Amino acid sequence: MPGRRDPVKVMQLVLIGGAQRSGTTLLQTLLANALDTDVLPEVHILCDLLAAYKRAGEAGKKTQYFYPTDEALLAFFRHCADRHIADIVDAVGAKPVLVLKDPNLVQVDGEAEKVFPGVICIICLRDPRDIAASFLRIGQREGEGSGSKYQRRDISFIGKKILASYAPLFQGERGANLHFVRYEEVVTKPAETLARLARDTGLALSLERIAKPAWLEAEARHEASWISELEGQEPSPANVGAYKTVMEPSEIGLIEQICSPYMAWAGYERSPLERSPPAWAPVSLVRRAFSWARRG
């Protein structure tokens, strides 16, 4: 729009990504409150723009037919992304800092750094076993007969989904200036964790605002089955280690096997190796019955 001020040049942009169920919603909520700015829905449009930029850059000769140089391609996508940010600012009002999140931003942080010079990119890390447990709880909250992979407890699908989210980080396909935040630290010591993040990023955070944070209305966050019992409240460590009561030993083992590259890179220890009795053994039957009872 002619004459419109470029919002990207007059505000600090913060982008948050990570695997689904890794705490991106919580971190965005806490940061937005600490910065006295709006808590906004997921920016799937921006994420798709950055993903398209990534695909175009990998397309070689096809892309070069339309945009012969990397600079020309970047200029096109920067124009589109700036326009989207401008529309967000028009909707919510100009603020010194804009905190946006979408889990899939973890796949395009390098592109975000090119499109938005000076952007602060933050990645949420979480124990993959607890991420898997959170997916399984979604399945429990879904209506009977939904037939989703979460309701069917498709552990292989869930494990591969988690691994694919984080794979760019430990395969060297990431941006040069990322900041990492662990879910476990956010929920057990939120003030200390955000204070460290403030030092690392230069963000001026008012930590007294995170004691009772204001949340985005539930309807704008997720479908009902995706809203956990902890959303809308202050940070709580209640779901750290939840996999021990939500998942069976064989399911935990499969997640650890699939996600072992991520666990090794992120520093999450695997369960102690021990010989498991056959599935038909009495002790195994008792364990499984107890696990089913705990899951309700």
Q: Which domains does the chain have, with CATH numbers?
A: 7-295 (3.40.50.300)
Query: 278 versus 154: which is more confidently predicted?
Result: 154
Please check the confidence at residue 274 and state whether its pLDDT lies above 50.
no
DSSP string for 249-273: HHHHHHHHHHTHHHHHHHTPPPPPP
Decide: 181 and 124 in contact? Cβ < 8 Å: yes
Q: How confident is the model at residue 291 (pLDDT cuts 50, 70, 90)?
A: low
Which pLDDT belongs to residue 176? Answer: 76
pLDDT band at 277 (very low <50, low <70, confident <90, very high): very low
Q: Express each pLDDT in 203-252 by its tens digit.
A: 999 999 998 999 998 778 777 788 888 888 899 999 999 999 999 999 99
* DSSP secondary structure letter of residue 237: G
pLDDT tens for residues 97-133?
Answer: 999 999 999 999 999 999 999 999 999 999 999 999 9
Closest CA to 94 of 1, 13, 30, 16: 13
Phi first, then psi: what are they for 148, rounded to 5°?
Answer: -70, 160
Q: Which of 132, 94, 116 is nearest to 248 (CA)?
A: 132
Q: What one-character-per-residue DSSP string does 49-74 give? A: HHHHHHHHHHSTHHHHHH--SHHHHH
> Residue 10's pLDDT is what?
58
Nearest to 183 by CA among 295, 252, 268: 268
Average pLDDT over residues 130-141: 95
Distance CA 176, CA 188 (A): 28
The answer on pLDDT for 272 being more than 50 is: yes
pLDDT band at 5 (very low <50, low <70, confident <90, very high): very low
Write down the pLDDT at residue 139.
93
Nearest to 228 by CA among 149, 135, 147: 135
pLDDT per position as a tens digit, 22-48: 999 999 999 999 999 999 999 999 999
User: What is the b/e burial string over 39-73, where b = at least 16 CB atoms within 10 angstroms of the residue's CB?
Assistant: bbebbeebbebbbebbebbeeeeebeeebeeeeeb
Per-residue confidence (pLDDT) for residue 281, from 0 to 100: 45
pLDDT of the residue at 283: 44
Q: What are phi and psi of 202, to 5 degrees?
A: 85, 5
pLDDT in tens, 157-175: 999 999 999 999 988 877 7
Place 145 in a pLDDT band, splitting at 50, 70 and 90: confident
User: What is the reported pLDDT for 4?
Assistant: 45
pLDDT tens digits along 56-78: 999 988 999 999 999 999 999 99
3-state secondary structure of 215: coil
How many other CB atoms are there within 10 angstroms of residue 219's CB atom? 10
d(CA 41, CA 177): 24
The predicted structure's pLDDT at residue 151: 93
Beta-sheet strand order (sheet of 120-125): 97-101, 12-18, 120-125, 178-182
Average pLDDT, the chain: 89
